[in-house]
Homo-oligomer: A and B are copies of this chain.
């Protein structure tokens, strides 16, 4: 369908897609959960049976100064500093009685600097936030007063499915930067991978492009905001009709970059977050999990990925655990 996009008119494409896929009002006017509503207790209970061997895979990059950020929108890499160290304990003045020593630390970081969830207050369409609310009434300098990420803190655990598009249709397991993953590519990947990768209502879908493996070899380069493989704008309809609870990729920005219009910035976000109410994860490290899935042919698993409940946050770092 990419071929059918009018590259010169993102605004119309966004408007049309938004009206086709809107979940506004679907769960009531007070709703703050969006697509997490699809992830019911029943589905969560069923998902637990996917744990067979007990093997656990963190899908989180480490948070440190050696990260992809380059300062765009004041997004730095995390700055972790020590408040006291083992050297203080061993050689400094005694702080505590009976030989006790302690180390403490602190961090300063943008909430979108590495492996994360976008909250529903992260993106707006013409001043509208999720569920038809005015952006300025939702997110002020006090934070997201309505859909702050803390509202999702109980919910994000259920069936995870890996769609390793990089392995299924890429070269040497990786998609090239600028590769737009269409719904067809997703279906093709499911077919290649087999029955365990069928996507169902309430799923947490992980899409591996292989870009993270590439930047690990070559250096971060323009990983944060540069060219990347990713979801095509045209997947908006599938993102809606599949009734998934959330989706995450191994890239900075989830959707293909450069975007599929002449002058555009993250148009799929503009449809997916305020209109679908979709939870989007970015910069997840899917490498170890994907290698395991390739080996045993099982692409479904238990996934716990509860955001850190920073009150009023429009995004959150997360250490997702996939268990097979």
Query: Interface residues, chain A, CB within 8 Å of chain B?
Result: 10-11, 14, 40-49, 51-58, 60-66, 71, 73-93, 96-112, 121-127, 129, 134-144, 150, 153-155, 157, 261, 263-267, 269-270, 302, 304, 306-315, 317-319, 321, 323
Contacts and interface: CB of A to CB of B under 8 A. Distances in A.
For the complex formed by this chain, how many copies does it contain in all?
A: 4
A107 B321 contact: no
B82 A79 contact: no
Given A112-B104, A135-B101, A313-B80, A52 B45 contact: yes
A188 to B, nearest CB: 30
B63 A310 contact: yes
The prevalent SS among residues of A at the interface is mixed
A88 B135 CA distance: 9
Contacts of A81: 74, 81-83, 106, 141
A87 B45 contact: no
26 contacts: A56-B157, A62-B310, A74-B80, A74-B106, A76-B76, A80-B312, A82-B139, A83-B141, A85-B87, A89-B139, A90-B91, A98-B261, A98-B264, A98-B265, A99-B126, A100-B266, A101-B126, A101-B135, A102-B123, A102-B124, A103-B124, A105-B110, A105-B313, A107-B109, A154-B321, A309-B319
A157 to B, nearest CB: 5
Contact of A44 (B49, B54, B134, B154): B54
A311 B80 contact: yes
A93 B43 CA distance: 40
Counting chain B CB atoms within 10 Å of each CB, which of A56, A98, A110, A140 scores highest?
Answer: A98
B106 A310 contact: no
Contact of A45 (B14, B51, B102): B51
A298 B138 CA distance: 39
